[in-house]
Amino acid sequence: MKKHTLVVTSMMALLLSVASPLTNTQASAYAAGQTPAVNPEMKTLAQLDKHVVEAAKQSMLKQAGGVLIELDEITGETTDCWVIRAKNNRGEVLVTKQEGKVVSVRVKLKFDEVAADLQNTATSTLKEMDNQHAFTIDWVERINWEKENVWLFKGQNVSVSIDAAAGKVNTATLHYTNQQMNPKVVNTAQKALKSLSNGKASALLPDVTLLKKSQERLDQVWDFMDTERKYRIVIGAKTGKVVAATMFSEFSDGNYTADEDIPQVFAKPFFTKEAAIAAANPMMKKVFNLDLTGYNVSSKYNVYTFTKKGKPTVTASINHKGVFYDFAVTPENGLIN
């Protein structure tokens, strides 16, 4: 697909701002390399090629599951594309000027406008995660572009992302305050935070996320961060054990390596098997109460995988200085909970 220009970035950023709470790198990746639009004069819908407008209308209709979405005005353009907004803030579509090819579309819907099977998938997932509280879904977005094809259900303190092609849940989140949490879980997070930061971390944020993320095999976990957002502690909702931890300062600023540079920077393994265990084991013992002695080690670029029969698998990443900053512990059944 051709690269599009900066005018489109605001639209894509909006689409991606509702994605997984753990990362939003797609928006910045999409924005990179954009160039300003050439023509400052905005056209009206009536001035566009009818085939282009019809393509935009049909795309909105299809993505909305047959719900009629009326186009309103052109809100931006690039060298190749028009950005067209729907009436009543019901979405946007990005369509090429010449071919009328839809590049991306976002449609906003009411919960009862969405197919019953999708409604059931969203509500049953939330109920499975927490059957003690009632959660309301206020609105739904249908998002489709090159890197994302989802139904997104949103409400106060709740979100569910469903893969539009497979009909399965990608990510689900529920948000709580620490006061609503089991004190034992909060205490576990505080102790892990202290160990991870060598006593330097600030207190935990006053809120926490209950997360399900299929692509990362996160079945159901509590996601904590410190108030300065330098550290992350993840605790299994079912096991009550620390299952992941991240030191953000160790891969930011001077420690950061861009994804595209990783193969070159880590072309040769940084550690031998013995050295990798020696480097990772102190943190594993302190934070996870897990000893890597006797584990096998494999690596791909900056990611090291530690395995041992009958034991959980540990995946850990290093920065270019060889400091392990990101850890995840996966049980033998493959589900982190």
Rounded-to-integer distance, Cα 2 and Cα 244, Å: 38
Rounded-to-integer distance, Cα 270 and Cα 129, Å: 40
The whole-number pLDDT of residue 41 equals: 66
Specify the pTM: 0.80
pLDDT in tens, the chain (337 residues): 433 333 333 333 333 333 333 333 333 343 444 444 444 567 899 999 999 999 999 999 999 999 999 999 999 998 999 999 999 999 999 999 989 999 999 999 999 999 999 999 999 999 999 999 889 999 999 999 999 999 999 999 999 999 999 999 999 999 999 889 999 999 999 999 999 999 988 899 999 999 999 888 899 999 999 999 999 999 999 999 999 999 998 999 899 999 999 999 999 999 999 999 999 999 999 999 999 999 999 999 999 999 999 999 999 999 999 999 999 999 988 889 8
Containing H/E element for 156?
A: none
The whole-number pLDDT of residue 257 equals: 94
Rounded-to-integer distance, Cα 87 and Cα 102, Å: 18
Rounded-to-integer distance, Cα 320 and Cα 322, Å: 5
How many CB atoms sit inside 10 A of residue 20's CB?
17
Non-local (6+) Cβ contacts of 327 within 8 A are 244, 245, 246, 280, 283, 284, 287, 288, 314, 315, 316
Tokens representing residue 2 in the block: 């051709």
The whole-number pLDDT of residue 272 equals: 96
Rounded-to-integer distance, Cα 1 and Cα 90, Å: 26
Residue 253 burial (10 A CB sphere; 0-12, 13-18, 19+): exposed
Rounded-to-integer distance, Cα 147 and Cα 300, Å: 24
Q: Kindly report, residue by residue over 84-143, the tens digit of the pLDDT.
A: 999 999 999 999 998 999 999 999 999 999 999 999 999 999 999 999 988 999 999 999
